[in-house]
Amino acid sequence: MPQIFSKKANYLARGSIVMTGVVFVLIVLISHNVTAYTHDLGVAFQQPAPFSHKHHVKELGIDCRYCHQSVEKGPFAGLPPTETCYTCHSQIWTNSPLLKVVRDSYTTNTPIEWNRVNNLPDFVYFDHSVHVAKGVSCYTCHGQVDQMNLLYKENAFEMIWCLRCHRNPEAQVRPKSEIFNPNYDYSQHETLGKQLVEQYGIKKEQLTNCWICHR
Protein backbone atom coordinates (compact mmCIF):
# COMPACT_ATOMS: atom_id res chain seq x y z
CA MET A 1 0.00 0.00 0.00
CA PRO A 2 1.44 3.37 -0.98
CA GLN A 3 1.83 6.15 1.57
CA ILE A 4 -1.41 8.14 1.99
CA PHE A 5 0.42 11.22 3.24
CA SER A 6 3.29 12.68 1.33
CA LYS A 7 6.36 13.86 3.18
CA LYS A 8 4.98 17.45 3.18
CA ALA A 9 2.24 16.36 5.54
CA ASN A 10 4.76 16.52 8.36
CA TYR A 11 4.93 20.29 7.97
CA LEU A 12 1.15 20.52 7.83
CA ALA A 13 0.97 18.57 11.04
CA ARG A 14 3.52 20.80 12.76
CA GLY A 15 1.82 23.93 11.39
CA SER A 16 -1.54 22.86 12.68
CA ILE A 17 -0.09 22.40 16.15
CA VAL A 18 1.12 26.01 16.03
CA MET A 19 -2.25 27.22 14.72
CA THR A 20 -4.05 25.36 17.47
CA GLY A 21 -1.96 27.33 19.91
CA VAL A 22 -2.79 30.58 18.16
CA VAL A 23 -6.52 29.86 18.17
CA PHE A 24 -6.33 28.89 21.81
CA VAL A 25 -4.66 32.17 22.72
CA LEU A 26 -7.29 34.12 20.76
CA ILE A 27 -10.11 32.28 22.51
CA VAL A 28 -8.57 33.04 25.87
CA LEU A 29 -8.17 36.70 24.95
CA ILE A 30 -11.73 37.03 23.71
CA SER A 31 -13.32 35.12 26.57
CA HIS A 32 -11.39 37.22 29.08
CA ASN A 33 -12.94 40.35 27.65
CA VAL A 34 -10.02 42.44 26.57
CA THR A 35 -12.51 45.18 25.68
CA ALA A 36 -12.10 47.05 28.91
CA TYR A 37 -8.35 47.18 28.47
CA THR A 38 -8.21 48.03 24.77
CA HIS A 39 -10.86 50.73 25.09
CA ASP A 40 -9.52 52.30 28.29
CA LEU A 41 -12.79 51.73 30.11
CA GLY A 42 -12.91 53.28 33.55
CA VAL A 43 -9.78 55.36 32.98
CA ALA A 44 -10.23 59.08 33.63
CA PHE A 45 -9.31 61.18 30.63
CA GLN A 46 -6.73 63.91 30.77
CA GLN A 47 -8.54 67.19 30.18
CA PRO A 48 -7.43 70.83 30.12
CA ALA A 49 -9.55 71.55 33.21
CA PRO A 50 -10.54 68.93 35.82
CA PHE A 51 -14.26 69.28 35.16
CA SER A 52 -16.37 67.20 37.52
CA HIS A 53 -19.66 65.92 36.18
CA LYS A 54 -20.43 64.59 39.64
CA HIS A 55 -20.25 68.06 41.14
CA HIS A 56 -22.26 69.78 38.43
CA VAL A 57 -24.88 67.08 37.84
CA LYS A 58 -25.35 65.38 41.15
CA GLU A 59 -24.44 68.02 43.67
CA LEU A 60 -25.77 71.06 41.83
CA GLY A 61 -28.56 69.34 39.91
CA ILE A 62 -27.79 70.88 36.54
CA ASP A 63 -29.56 69.21 33.64
CA CYS A 64 -27.44 67.53 30.93
CA ARG A 65 -28.96 69.85 28.34
CA TYR A 66 -27.75 72.98 30.08
CA CYS A 67 -24.36 72.33 28.49
CA HIS A 68 -25.07 69.66 25.88
CA GLN A 69 -27.85 71.61 24.20
CA SER A 70 -28.05 70.00 20.81
CA VAL A 71 -28.64 66.52 22.21
CA GLU A 72 -32.35 66.80 21.45
CA LYS A 73 -31.92 68.62 18.18
CA GLY A 74 -29.08 67.08 16.23
CA PRO A 75 -26.65 64.21 15.79
CA PHE A 76 -24.06 65.70 18.13
CA ALA A 77 -24.85 66.37 21.77
CA GLY A 78 -22.70 69.48 21.73
CA LEU A 79 -19.97 70.78 23.94
CA PRO A 80 -20.68 74.02 25.76
CA PRO A 81 -19.07 77.19 24.45
CA THR A 82 -16.94 78.90 27.09
CA GLU A 83 -19.77 81.41 27.33
CA THR A 84 -21.85 78.69 29.00
CA CYS A 85 -19.18 78.10 31.67
CA TYR A 86 -19.14 81.84 32.15
CA THR A 87 -22.84 82.05 32.90
CA CYS A 88 -21.97 80.95 36.42
CA HIS A 89 -18.20 81.28 36.58
CA SER A 90 -18.32 85.00 35.89
CA GLN A 91 -19.42 85.21 39.53
CA ILE A 92 -18.50 81.92 41.17
CA TRP A 93 -14.93 80.66 41.73
CA THR A 94 -13.72 83.55 39.63
CA ASN A 95 -10.16 83.38 40.95
CA SER A 96 -9.80 79.63 41.11
CA PRO A 97 -6.57 78.42 39.48
CA LEU A 98 -8.50 75.38 38.25
CA LEU A 99 -10.55 77.69 36.06
CA LYS A 100 -7.65 79.57 34.52
CA VAL A 101 -8.16 77.64 31.29
CA VAL A 102 -11.76 78.85 31.17
CA ARG A 103 -10.81 82.47 31.83
CA ASP A 104 -8.03 82.38 29.25
CA SER A 105 -10.39 80.90 26.70
CA TYR A 106 -12.99 83.55 27.40
CA THR A 107 -10.66 86.52 27.35
CA THR A 108 -8.67 85.45 24.28
CA ASN A 109 -11.68 84.09 22.40
CA THR A 110 -10.11 80.71 21.72
CA PRO A 111 -11.98 77.48 22.35
CA ILE A 112 -10.93 75.09 25.10
CA GLU A 113 -9.52 71.92 23.55
CA TRP A 114 -11.26 69.10 25.39
CA ASN A 115 -10.16 65.58 24.61
CA ARG A 116 -12.82 63.45 23.01
CA VAL A 117 -13.81 60.59 25.27
CA ASN A 118 -16.00 58.55 22.96
CA ASN A 119 -14.84 58.33 19.38
CA LEU A 120 -17.01 56.23 17.12
CA PRO A 121 -15.48 54.91 13.90
CA ASP A 122 -16.30 57.18 10.97
CA PHE A 123 -18.36 54.49 9.26
CA VAL A 124 -20.93 54.53 12.05
CA TYR A 125 -23.70 57.10 11.76
CA PHE A 126 -24.99 57.93 15.17
CA ASP A 127 -27.62 60.55 15.94
CA HIS A 128 -28.21 61.64 19.53
CA SER A 129 -31.52 63.35 18.85
CA VAL A 130 -33.37 60.28 17.64
CA HIS A 131 -32.20 58.24 20.60
CA VAL A 132 -33.37 60.88 23.05
CA ALA A 133 -36.63 61.30 21.14
CA LYS A 134 -37.28 57.55 21.41
CA GLY A 135 -36.65 57.33 25.11
CA VAL A 136 -32.99 56.37 25.39
CA SER A 137 -31.43 58.08 28.36
CA CYS A 138 -27.97 59.64 28.38
CA TYR A 139 -27.11 57.35 31.28
CA THR A 140 -28.00 54.22 29.31
CA CYS A 141 -24.96 54.59 27.06
CA HIS A 142 -22.65 56.93 28.96
CA GLY A 143 -22.99 55.25 32.33
CA GLN A 144 -23.58 57.00 35.64
CA VAL A 145 -21.93 60.23 34.58
CA ASP A 146 -23.45 61.84 37.65
CA GLN A 147 -21.09 59.72 39.76
CA MET A 148 -17.93 60.50 37.82
CA ASN A 149 -15.60 63.06 39.32
CA LEU A 150 -13.49 62.88 36.19
CA LEU A 151 -15.17 61.59 33.09
CA TYR A 152 -14.35 58.13 31.87
CA LYS A 153 -15.73 55.67 29.35
CA GLU A 154 -18.24 53.31 30.89
CA ASN A 155 -19.01 51.34 27.73
CA ALA A 156 -16.86 50.51 24.74
CA PHE A 157 -19.54 51.18 22.10
CA GLU A 158 -18.67 48.08 20.17
CA MET A 159 -21.23 46.91 17.65
CA ILE A 160 -22.32 43.93 19.72
CA TRP A 161 -23.03 46.32 22.56
CA CYS A 162 -25.20 48.58 20.39
CA LEU A 163 -27.06 45.55 19.09
CA ARG A 164 -28.04 44.38 22.53
CA CYS A 165 -30.41 47.32 22.74
CA HIS A 166 -31.30 47.44 19.06
CA ARG A 167 -32.48 43.85 19.35
CA ASN A 168 -34.33 44.45 22.57
CA PRO A 169 -35.21 48.12 23.02
CA GLU A 170 -37.94 47.28 25.56
CA ALA A 171 -35.31 46.75 28.21
CA GLN A 172 -33.96 50.29 27.96
CA VAL A 173 -36.45 52.89 26.67
CA ARG A 174 -37.77 55.24 29.29
CA PRO A 175 -40.71 57.63 29.48
CA LYS A 176 -39.98 61.11 28.09
CA SER A 177 -39.81 62.68 31.53
CA GLU A 178 -37.14 60.29 32.80
CA ILE A 179 -34.56 60.63 30.05
CA PHE A 180 -32.32 63.02 31.95
CA ASN A 181 -32.96 61.41 35.31
CA PRO A 182 -29.80 59.75 36.68
CA ASN A 183 -31.73 57.66 39.20
CA TYR A 184 -34.39 56.06 37.04
CA ASP A 185 -35.81 52.92 38.55
CA TYR A 186 -36.05 50.00 36.13
CA SER A 187 -37.68 47.64 38.62
CA GLN A 188 -41.20 48.02 37.23
CA HIS A 189 -40.06 48.11 33.68
CA GLU A 190 -41.34 44.88 32.19
CA THR A 191 -44.73 45.96 30.97
CA LEU A 192 -43.78 49.60 30.61
CA GLY A 193 -40.95 48.88 28.17
CA LYS A 194 -43.24 47.12 25.69
CA GLN A 195 -45.80 49.87 26.03
CA LEU A 196 -43.22 52.57 25.36
CA VAL A 197 -41.79 50.85 22.28
CA GLU A 198 -45.34 50.83 20.95
CA GLN A 199 -45.97 54.42 21.95
CA TYR A 200 -42.73 55.76 20.44
CA GLY A 201 -43.43 53.87 17.21
CA ILE A 202 -40.07 52.10 17.37
CA LYS A 203 -39.89 49.73 14.40
CA LYS A 204 -38.04 46.86 16.02
CA GLU A 205 -37.76 44.84 12.82
CA GLN A 206 -35.71 47.66 11.27
CA LEU A 207 -33.40 48.31 14.16
CA THR A 208 -30.94 45.57 13.28
CA ASN A 209 -30.72 46.40 9.59
CA CYS A 210 -27.18 47.24 8.49
CA TRP A 211 -28.18 50.59 7.06
CA ILE A 212 -29.62 51.81 10.34
CA CYS A 213 -26.07 52.59 11.46
CA HIS A 214 -23.89 52.07 8.35
CA ARG A 215 -25.01 54.37 5.58
Q: How far is CA 15 from CA 11, 20, 22, 25, 27, in A?
A: 6, 9, 11, 15, 18
Q: Could you tell me how many residues make up the chain?
A: 215
Considering only residues 156 through 195, tell me which ones interact with other proteins, judged by CB under 8 A: 177-178, 180-181
Q: Which is nearer to other proteins, 63 or 198 (CB)?
A: 63
For other proteins, the binding residue among 1, 92, 160, 210 (CB under 8 A) is 92
Considering only residues 16 through 55, tell me which ones interact with other proteins, judged by CB under 8 A: 18-19, 22, 25-26
When asked if residue 110 is in the footprint of other proteins (CB under 8 A), the reply is: yes
For other proteins, the binding residue among 36, 49, 62, 150 (CB under 8 A) is 62
CA proximity to 156, closest of 43, 70, 31: 43
Taking the complex as a whole, how short is the minimal distance between the CB of residue 205 and other proteins, in angstroms? 27
User: Following DSSP, what letter does each residue of 2-65 receive, concatenated?
Assistant: --SS-TTHHHHHHHHHHHHHHHHHHHHHHHTT-HHHHTTBTPPPP-SS---HIIIIIIT---HH
When asked if residue 12 is in the footprint of other proteins (CB under 8 A), the reply is: yes
Assess contact for 72 and 132: CB atoms under 8 A: yes
For other proteins, the binding residue among 9, 24, 75, 163 (CB under 8 A) is 75
When asked if residue 215 is in the footprint of other proteins (CB under 8 A), the reply is: no
Cα–Cα distance measured from residue 99 to residue 49, given in angstroms and rounded to the nearest whole number: 7
Q: Which is nearer to other proteins, 86 or 200 (CB)?
A: 86
Q: Which is nearer to other proteins, 168 or 195 (CB)?
A: 195
When asked if residue 139 is in the footprint of other proteins (CB under 8 A), the reply is: no
Partners of 41 in the β-ladder? 153
Cα–Cα distance measured from residue 162 to residue 149, given in angstroms and rounded to the nearest whole number: 26
When asked if residue 200 is in the footprint of other proteins (CB under 8 A), the reply is: no
> Contact residues for other proteins (CB under 8 A)?
8, 10-12, 14-15, 18-19, 22, 25-26, 60-63, 65-66, 69, 75-76, 79, 81, 83-84, 86-88, 90-92, 110-111, 116, 119, 121-123, 177-178, 180-181
